[in-house]
Amino acid sequence: MITEHFINASVTPLESMDTLSPHEVAKLQDISQRGLYRLFRQCCLAVLNTGSELDSTRTVLHRFREFDIRIKHKHRGVQLELINAPASAFVDGEIIQGIREHLFTVLRDLLYVGDELDQCCAGLTESESITNTVFHILRHASAMRPHVKPNLVVCWGGHSIQRLEYDYTKEVGYELGLRSFDICTGCGPGAMKGPMKGATIAHAKQRKESPRYIGLTEPGIIAAESPNPIVNELVTLPDIEKRLEAFVRLGHGIIVFPGGAGTAEEILYMLGILLHPKNRNVPFPLVFTGPAGSEAYFETVDRFIKATIGERAAERYEIVVGDPHGVAVRMREGLEKVLAYRKKTDESYHYNWQLHIPHEFQQPFEPTHEEMAQLNLREGQPDYILAAQLRKALSGIVAGNVKEPGVLAIEQHGPFELTGDKDIMQSLDQLLASFVEQKRMKINHEEYQPCYKIVN
């Protein structure tokens, strides 16, 4: 029986978000379906619950069902009243400073997306509008650093990983930090925390000023992957598709550690973009890596990629096992090519405008049973389009595993059903079965029940 401890407290911002308009406060206080209150409460609870071993949004919300947050507008600015907040977010009755910062970055992003962005994208195509939206969100969050040579390495990987794998992510992060690379992850635990933790030591050794540990999240996943305490720049994007686009627009290279369905979704997203003919000559270093003993994971992923979207996709990544130093050297060499290309093409260092992201990868996907059943998982279509469809299938599985609406849909209607060509479905079934066997779907893997069914 777990005994929870709760605290009531008033929190004010340190520097930013010290003023809100009455209109903005009213939006946050609006408890109707159209209001921001429910979303804001959920995101704030996730921030306060950092370090949790829970990876189910629904479980987190149930455990802290008595938690509430109220926004007060005073002459000096905004004040948050926390009611029944997790005691782990406080020290001697005072909120931890990093958590305090994260609370107000969530407030900043939710209000900005709701208020400002409708006016920034007039006259653009839908695809251009989405890219412009991501740019404005990142700029408003001060996440871009103009005139700084490419040095931001995105690290993807699972939150449910073995201790050996977690330690390896720290070793890779240390090697990246020695080369003064900044780190960007999905902000949660596991492979999202390890590289940042390793980099902090190396950055300290190199006396790097203002090291950056950027966490990109979105409201649907934040409660299941609460921001880890090392993140010093948190940005909340409106949905998973804009979050993924933010990774590849902001980052200069990507390292992928072992993970589950979410990591496979990210891999397919990146490969689908790189496979588009317009991106044929765009350098973007992509390295898959893990400790010795993780070969089976990468063999499975590599086999799945080649069997579905083709051998050409395998040319866009490199697999390195058990060699943190080698990974960092390859990333350094890759970033040198990125720098040369951006100089040659007059591309900005801080936002990759020239990378073409097909609209199929930008459209928000709501994984209902009907939408999952209608995915086109068949041969005879461009490889990048098939990658987009497979990405959506895996996104739906992530939702069924940890996101509240997805979990509820599975409980009401049973597993999602996926249909398609026999060879593709067989490869997908083998990939997902390997994630289950390797206990990569959830932290509490003993209780895991598949939220999907492969129908040939």
Name every residue whose Cβ is closer than 8 Å to that of residue 315 and which is 6 or more positions away in sequence: none
Nearest to 363 by CA among 329, 392, 406, 396: 392
Together in a domain, 321 and 381:
no
pLDDT in tens, the chain (456 residues): 344 588 999 898 866 555 667 777 777 777 655 667 888 888 898 899 886 666 566 677 778 888 999 887 765 567 889 999 999 899 998 999 999 999 999 988 988 876 555 566 666 788 999 999 999 999 999 999 999 999 999 999 998 889 999 999 999 999 999 999 999 999 999 999 999 999 999 999 999 999 999 999 998 888 778 899 999 999 999 999 999 999 999 999 999 999 998 999 999 999 999 999 999 999 999 999 999 998 889 999 999 999 999 999 999 999 999 999 999 999 999 999 999 999 999 999 999 999 999 999 999 999 999 999 999 999 999 999 999 999 999 999 988 887 878 888 998 999 999 999 999 999 999 998 898 888 887 655 566 788 888 886
Q: 66 exposed, middle or buried (CB, 10 Å; 0-12, 13-18, 19+)?
A: exposed
- Residues of the domain holding 393: 364-455
Does one domain contain both 370 and 320? no
Looking at the fold, whether 401 and 371 belong to one and the same domain comes out as yes
Residue 102, in any domain of the structure: yes
Is residue 381 in some structural domain? yes
Instruction: State the CB neighbour count (10 A cutoff) for residue 437.
Output: 11
pTM of the complete model beyond 0.75? yes
Q: For the chain, how many structural domains are there in total?
A: 3
Looking at 75, 93, 115, the residue that finishes a domain is 115
Is residue 120 domain-resident? no
Same domain, 205 and 147: yes
CATH number at residue 313: 3.40.50.450
Q: What's the rounded Cα separation, in Å, for the pair 328 and 415?
A: 41
Residues 266 and 368 in one domain: no
User: Within this chain, do residues 433 and 301 fall inside the same structural domain, yes or no?
Assistant: no
- Clarify whether residues 182 and 77 are in a common domain: no
412 and 325 both lie in a single domain: no
Question: Would residue 124 count as lying in a domain?
Answer: no
Reduced to 3 states (helix: H, G, I; strand: E, B; else coil), residue 195 is helix
Q: Is residue 404 part of a domain?
A: yes
| Unique residue bearing structure tokens 């991501």 | 134
